[in-house]
Structure 1
Amino acid sequence: MFSFLDTTYKRKSAALTSVIMSLLLVLIFFVGMTYLDPPEEYGIAVNFGTSAIGMGDIQPTEPLKLTSEEKLQEEVKETVEPEVSQKTSETLEEEVATQNNEEAIAIQKKVDAKKKADEITKNAELEKERIEKVKLAAIAKQKAEEEAKRKKLDALIGGINNSDGTATGGEGNDSKPGDKGNINGDPNANGYYGNGGGGGNGDYNLGNRKPLSRPKPDYICNEEGLVVVSIEVDVNGRVIKATAGVKGSTNTAQCLLSQAKEAALKTKWNADAKAPSKQVGTIKYRFTLSQ
């Protein structure tokens, strides 16, 4: 029912719209806007002529001859116009001269200002150069004083304090030039690396179990510090896994970690049948640079 009413209304609306559009088209066609072709011209028509005044009813086709009065007016006009033109040219020349003077003054002011600015800039650069020279001289003097003090100190301790890279000779067991060792070491010591290794029982922690063998790590580099190794030990006392550099380590240099791990894996613990299959513990290795 609602669909039928809706369709009926739509049809009525379409019909009504068509009727209204048709009426509008008819009205536009018959009563639409009209226009003139050509359109009307608006304004005031002015008669043709050759002078500002005139009289009579006949329209001449050529310019009229001038009367004596008109000739006199033309002569006066021709006489006055050159005088006015001459005065105007003189006035223009004066104005141009004045303008030229003003421009010259402005240009001169600009030149003077530029010279002054250049002079200020030059003086600033000279002052900057002077300050730089004073600074360089002070630095050179300070370096000379430090060099003199260093030489006196070197003379007292046999040249050990020569830290500017100008010392000659060298020492070491390698095939490359240089002074092998550690800056904090003893110049009279024979070794080139510190001794590393574990301490007493306090460095080994695996519950109630005790280490049977305690191999010390090799010391192959100029590094020092504490390396903590996490270990896993089976019931037979064999270390089956070692992780070096865990929490508590103070130096994680690779040369220390590798040697600490290798020493931990070689450590042997007492067997314990009641222990877990993977008992976790730690070993601490302290590496020092002392000879």
Structure 2
Amino acid sequence: MKYFETKHEKDSARITALLAMILILLIFIVGPKYLDPPEEYGVAVNFGTTDFGSGRIQPKKTIQQAPKEVVTPPKKVEETKPTPTEPQETKAENVITEDNAESIAIKKQKEEARKKAQEEAEAKAEVERIEREKKAEAERLEKERKAKEAKRNSVNDLIGGIKNSSGTDSGSEGDDNRAGDKGQLNGDPYASTYFGEPGAGGGGTGYGLRGRGTPEKQEFKPECNEEGRVVVEIHVNRQGRVINAIPGQKGTTGVSCLFDAAKKTAMSYKWNADSKAPVKQVGFVVINFSVTQ
């Protein structure tokens, strides 16, 4: 049997051989690498011969194991113990009992002392509380007594002032703390000031302008047909002119329709000039109105 007789057979053989050589080269070049020694799998464990050990020097061979400790049970030495064991135990018990009794007695004494001190402190606090209450009550009673005494003295002063006066009327008026009728005998009972130079006549009265002389004035009639008295507060400058007038002050008995005429009358007042007088001297005038005027 002959091979490779035709040209196609020869070409096929050549291609096959070429492919085989390429595959063999790929196996050697691209194939898996061979490890020498081959790679091992698992966990590395330290070499040793016992389940225990210490230090940093690693033996290469099996070491001689240390001899095992043999635990020998202690021998009974009952013969060495003192024979009179019961008396010693009894003595120890007696000492313990005596100590306990003494401790109990000391604790009892301390407890009694503590209770006694607490009772004394409570009794002292109660006494102090009672003393404080008594003191507060005494202070309250003293305060009430002083208030009643002051009230009684005030009434006595009022009654005494009325009894000591030579007049026949009763009452008290003024800006002081004592009872009495403050003012001047020739003054006006409706005036707001208590001292000054009274004026004359029914057309007006001046108070608080002592030393300024007798004023000049004009009289203005009210628009209503009413009678009454209007007290006007006036402010007078050094030239003697009234620069402001405020009607309806304390002592006014007239109705409000009289206030405009009273103010105009008060503004018409003219006193003597006084360079030593205050820049604004305050006084009062009383304007009387009557339907018969």
The TM-score normalised by the length of structure 1 is 0.38
In our comparison, the structure showing a higher alpha carbon Rg is 2
Q: Per chain length, whose mean CA-contact separation is higher, i.e. which structure has more relative contact order (CA < 8 Å, sep 6+)?
A: 1
The TM-score normalised by the length of structure 2 is 0.38
